[in-house]
Amino acid sequence: MLNHGLTHFDEHGQAIMVDVSGKKETYRVAVASGEIHVNDAVYAAIEQGNVKKGDVLGVARIAGIMAAKKTSDTIPLCHPLPLAKCSIDFTMVPETRTVCAEATVKVTGLTGVEMEALHAVSVALLTIYDMCKAIDKRMEITNIHLDRKSGGKSGDFVR
């Protein structure tokens, strides 16, 4: 069976964890982003800091960092990585009532941190939803993607 260049399958089509034991450690960075679209009431509550559950963006930032550190616990074939840095930044866009999240993850390791950055952004946005759902359940999480990455055998990527 052909695997079409997919690294997480063996020659028989079985799912595998990629063997990185022969790789050299390199410095790697990944940046991912996404957004959550909210209504006026949610946007104002986040901006004014009066959501009943607390500091929405502060809690979402911590949740995203925790998610990055636990990516291999939730994405089955990811390697556990000793992250050197994870940061989550938020930008409020009043014209579209959008909160944009960006995660930057760094490691010196045998494999990249794209999944950690994507996981961090996803969980940060889900946390915003969770903390604000009492105000409105129609929030929409969109546009989660890898913006750029550097390091490793495949080199640099810029979206």
Q: Is residue 96 part of a domain?
A: yes
Q: Is residue 66 part of a domain?
A: yes
Q: Is residue 3 part of a domain?
A: no
- Give the confidence band of 8 by pLDDT, cuts at 50, 70, 90: low
* Catalytic residue chosen out of the listed positions 89, 130, 136, 147: 130
Q: Is residue 74 part of a domain?
A: yes
Cβ contact 58:66 at 8 Å: no
Q: Is residue 19 part of a domain?
A: no
108-119 tens-digit pLDDT: 988 889 999 999
Domain tally for the chain?
1
For residue 31, give its domain range: 26-152
Q: Is position 40 annotated as part of the catalytic site? A: no
- Give the confidence band of 1 by pLDDT, cuts at 50, 70, 90: very low
31-47: average pLDDT: 97
Sign of the alpha-carbon torsion through 80, 73, 152, 16: positive
Q: What is the amino acid identity at position 103?
A: A
For residue 82, the model assigns a pLDDT of 94
- Give the confidence band of 2 by pLDDT, cuts at 50, 70, 90: very low
28-56: average pLDDT: 95
pLDDT above 90 for 125: yes
Q: Determine the 3-state secondary structure of 147 from DSSP.
A: strand
Q: Is residue 20 part of a domain?
A: no
Enter the tokens of residue 124: 């940060």
Helix (H) or strand (E) holding 148: strand 140-150
Q: CATH number of the domain that 65 lies in? A: 3.30.70.640
* Sole residue written with tokens 């500091």: 55
